[in-house]
Chains A and B, each alone.
Chain A
Amino acid sequence: MSFVPGQPVTAVVQRIEIQKLRQEENLILGFSIGGGIDQDPGQNPFSEDKSDKGIYVTRISSGGPAELAGLRIGDKIMQVNGWDMTMVTHDDARKKLTKKKEDVVRLLVTRKSLEEAIQMMSR
């Protein structure tokens, strides 16, 4: 999932739609993100390319909306409701996911297995 700076990024993605769950007065998605352009990419255990500063799913609460929707740990989030997630700070990513007025987030996520599948097919 490495990219060439300046070139458009292409990736095989899966669309995941998560319905936020209302818990008291919070809307939760049930996963946790890591990464961001202000974070240290070398500590990301999920990324192929250790200089990848994208937003990754680091934890998923079991049975939560994210897991039900098909999100998996290690997924890299490419877009949230159309907003790009490949070049954002950690906090920006968090904000885009936790907009109070939205109760659904549509993510585009990618993972290595998707890429592999496509490679398989195209081989």
Chain B
Amino acid sequence: IKINTDSDETGITAVVHQFLQESKAVEQEGEKATTENQESTEMQQENLQTSATPALTSTSVLQDSTTTEEPTPEASTLPSEAVTPTTSTISTTTTTPQPQPVLQPSEPQPVNPDSQSTVYTLPDAYRGIGGDLCVGYGSLSRINLHGYWPAKNFQSGAHYTLPFLRDSYAPAGLSSQAEQDGHSERGENPLDMKTNHPAVTYPTLGGIHQFRPITTMELLREPSRTRSGYDDAFMAQLEGNLNPFFQAMCRAQTLQVPHKRSSMVSLDSIRRDPRWRDPNLHEVISMLSHPMDPVKSNAAAYLQHLCYENDRIKQEVRHLNGVPILVGLLDHPKAEVHRKACGALRNISFGKDHNNKMAIKNCDGIQALVRLLRKSSSMEVKELVTGTLWNLSSHEPLKMMVINHGLQTLTDEIIIPHSGWRRDLADPSKLQSAEWTTVFKNTSGCLRNVSSDGAEARQRLRECEGLVAALLHALQSAVLNKDTDNKSVENCVCILRNLSYHVHKELPGAERFQEPHGNHLIRSIGHPKKNEPDAFSGKRPKDKRLEHFHIYKLAWLELLYQPEVVRLYLSLLTCSHNHNTLEAAAGALQNLAAGHWAWSSYIRATVRKEKGLPLLVELLRADVDKVVRAVAIALRNLAMDRRNKDLIGTGNYALRDLVGNLPCGQQHPAKNLEGDTVVSILNTIHEIITDNPENARLLIQGHAVQKLVAINKSSQSARETKAASHVLQTIWAYKDLRNTLNKAGWNKSHFKPTTTGVPKKSKSGKQGSDDITLPLMDKNQGQRITALVKEFLSCDMFFSCKSAQAISERKHFIRAGRPAVGLMDNKPPPLDSWV
């Protein structure tokens, strides 16, 4: 019997007694039973405890048992004893593997009224609401009160709380103290235990802990009911008005619990009880299939939370087959459910481990996401869907799938509306400016990824109605609004750059635009053509389309020849500070100007007319590697035009800036540029001085030879050396300059390679690899390399080019900090042996 020293408690005890009159008889019975059988029940409890836990986890006690199935039968047998409802309650509580709390519940039973009274002293005894360990192991009274008997066959694993239920305001100290007390008292006469630490039993919000712990399942089922019930109870408690308290508690406690996994626990007991644990992953995933929607959505939200930046859990979710369930939930009619499921999928799909992405794809996740995008009108859902698609699209094998299922939808639902472009309106003044929404950013990012997937992907994007026009419009409005540094703009420019890559080859009927430079195969290879995406990609009708499309095509083709797009890129180069955007815009110009096509010549001239050359030269001074590289290669392509070459060489100090970018051999380079960039610059220089003796002379005057020779001799990178030697050879080819060179102290050996002459083929191959500015990948550096390989292989490259390719590929890897050889790739499958 608990000894309560607090006078208030006794007062309340009386009230409690009245309230519980009906069930008193039973209570007393129970009391007796418990007092007498305390030892036994405890033992039973203990066994139950230990045996129960293995259902969840195994305990040391279980060592003797051979199966984990046993505990359940044990548990169910106990409640069948007429004696102690307590055991039944205990059975439920024992699911949380903690032996010592088990004992505690036994304490209050014999003194139900008293213990309850102690509880209700809370208003005074609000001391340390901590460590309440006699968490309502279901009081006798309550059970009889409601005539409810807990399920006899609990399922282990059913009892858990969501984290939010933990009461953080329970002072840890008290809990631990209580626990320690529990420990020390274990096995002793519970009566003694009670006396020893009366503190443990009281500190709850009213006799909440008298009631059995409520599982989260129940709370989720009728959250409002329980919580409001408890709120009322609490309020009643505080006001010292106990009848309403009880009523409220009853309300809160009487949940219809059809599920056999129910057990009643008070909210505070859950909060305070350290035995209640968060659901493990398995349970959360099974909650996803729960019939109740709030459970599903909470489980999904919890999964999302768990998966955040935690690769291991993402992997586990996949192993436990959570992904198909989540994908299934995307089709759920309720917004709450599918939104949270999408959020969870988004987190899961993010990261280096692509198995998760594949798992999503394998259960038709991409189709489901696109479906949801079409159905939903909620901006948040759209953001999540597009974000997930963005993640998925960063994985190479999935890109085509995303295009197949999602391209038109993404374009129609998001790109076109958010870009402000109106298909039918011809009047530009009516066009709205773009909305840089998150959805637009996500979608443009996704399309950026897929646009890098190769010729087929580019084709599809170009053919997608309205896509390119919308993107162009969006960019134009960005320039107008001077808002060019955001991610959406970057994505759009990158898409356009990608789409313009090799357009000349991929246009049906484009051959007629090709200039008759038949034998300049090397050059054309060496200059990957990133053509104007707008005209071609937006309206590149196939021959089988209807007549009016041809007319439309002409209109678009005309647009191609307009300087507007060139102006657009140049304006982006002028006003943007985003390095990726700068690189992409320069890359787009590079593509446009590449090749020997009628319109590429036109573009080169247009760039010159639009005063683009000085702009690009200016950018050579940028500190950013990739920008310098892109601009250098753009200049190189532009220099294919004779007049441009003159201008670049002589008029714009380009040579000076280019040379200035070169490292000075052994000395600390002026700019710490990557090898790739150096190679690009060297190639640009080469282009400039080819067929232009004047430029070559200028180059020599600029003391470039010194640097070139130094690079040629001492550079670590084979490509750099080759590029430098190439330039040097070209210089030497100008016989007129040899005098000057000799006077300066250079002789033939500096200019001619000492190794066997570099075959022209490999050089061009090198150039080719330089010139391919890759569509930048956001999410995966590896993409760069694979894209590089793809582009390379898709061209008619010479064999040696491919080998140069491989070298550059390795270098990319090295540069990226990865081992040059895929150490992890060739691991033999793990050995396992049957025994």
Contact = CB atoms under 8 A, between A and B. Distances in A.
Interface in B62-95: 62-68
Contacts of A69: 66
Given A15-B64, A90-B833, A116 B57 contact: yes
A78 interface: no
Nearest to B824: A42
Nearest to A58: B832
A31 B65 CA distance: 20
A85 B290 CA distance: 41
Given A39-B830, A117-B97, A94 B57 contact: no
A30 B98 CA distance: 34
Interface in A1-44: 12-17, 28-29, 31-36, 39-40, 42-44
B62 A14 contact: yes
B296 interface: no
A90 B827 CA distance: 16
B63 to A, nearest CB: 5
B806 to A, nearest CB: 27
A83 B587 CA distance: 65
Given A12-B60, A13-B63, A114-B59, A121 B831 contact: no
A33 B179 CA distance: 40
A59 B835 contact: no
A14 B63 contact: yes
A117 B833 contact: no
Interface residues of A, number: 38
A13 to B, nearest CB: 7
Nearest to B312: A48
B819 to A, nearest CB: 14
B67 A28 contact: no
B520 to A, nearest CB: 51
A26 to B, nearest CB: 10
A113 interface: yes
B275 A120 contact: yes
Given A14-B58, A15-B64, A121-B98, A33 B827 contact: no
Contacts of A17: 66
A36 B54 CA distance: 28
A82 interface: no
B96 A34 contact: no
Contacts of B833: 32-34, 90-91, 94
A100 to B, nearest CB: 12
Among B54, B59, B65, the most chain A Cβ lie within 10 Å of the Cβ of B59
Nearest to A95: B835
B832 A45 contact: no
B835 A117 contact: no
Contacts of A43: 827, 829-830
A6 B59 CA distance: 27
Interface in B39-58: 53-54, 56-58
A15 B63 contact: yes
Contact of B834 (A32, A45, A116): A32
B274 interface: yes
A85 B399 CA distance: 46
B832 A120 contact: no
Interface residues of B, number: 33
A113 B58 contact: yes
A117 B54 CA distance: 8
Nearest to B179: A123
A39 B831 contact: yes
A70 B80 CA distance: 28
Contact of B58 (A33, A40, A91, A114): A114
A16 to B, nearest CB: 7
Given A17-B66, A29-B835, A98-B835, A120 B277 contact: yes
Contacts of A29: 835
Residue in A29, A59, A111, A118 whose Cβ sees the most chain B Cβ within 10 Å: A118
A35 B835 CA distance: 14
Contact of B67 (A13, A35, A42, A70): A70
A70 B96 CA distance: 22
Interface in A73-123: 90-91, 94, 97-98, 111, 113-114, 116-118, 120-121, 123
Contacts of B832: 32-34, 58-59
Interface string B397-418: 0000000000000000000000
B319 interface: yes
A47 B98 CA distance: 26
Given A15-B64, A39-B831, A45-B319, A121 B99 contact: yes
Given A58-B832, A59-B832, A121-B99, A70 B63 contact: no
A121 B830 contact: no
A69 to B, nearest CB: 6
A70 B68 CA distance: 7
A81 to B, nearest CB: 13
Given A114-B59, A118-B60, A40 B54 contact: no
A9 to B, nearest CB: 16
A34 B64 contact: no
Contacts of A58: 830, 832
Given A45-B319, A70-B68, A118 B59 contact: yes
Considering residues B54, B64, B277, B830, which has the most beta carbons from chain A within 10 angstroms of its beta carbon? B830
Given A28-B834, A117-B54, 18 more contacts: A12-B58, A12-B60, A15-B64, A29-B835, A42-B824, A43-B830, A69-B66, A94-B835, A98-B835, A113-B56, A114-B59, A116-B56, A117-B53, A118-B59, A120-B57, A120-B98, A120-B277, A121-B99
13 contacts: A15-B63, A17-B66, A31-B835, A32-B832, A34-B832, A70-B66, A114-B57, A114-B60, A117-B97, A118-B59, A120-B275, A121-B59, A121-B100
Interface of A: 12-17, 28-29, 31-36, 39-40, 42-45, 58-59, 69-70, 90-91, 94, 97-98, 111, 113-114, 116-118, 120-121, 123
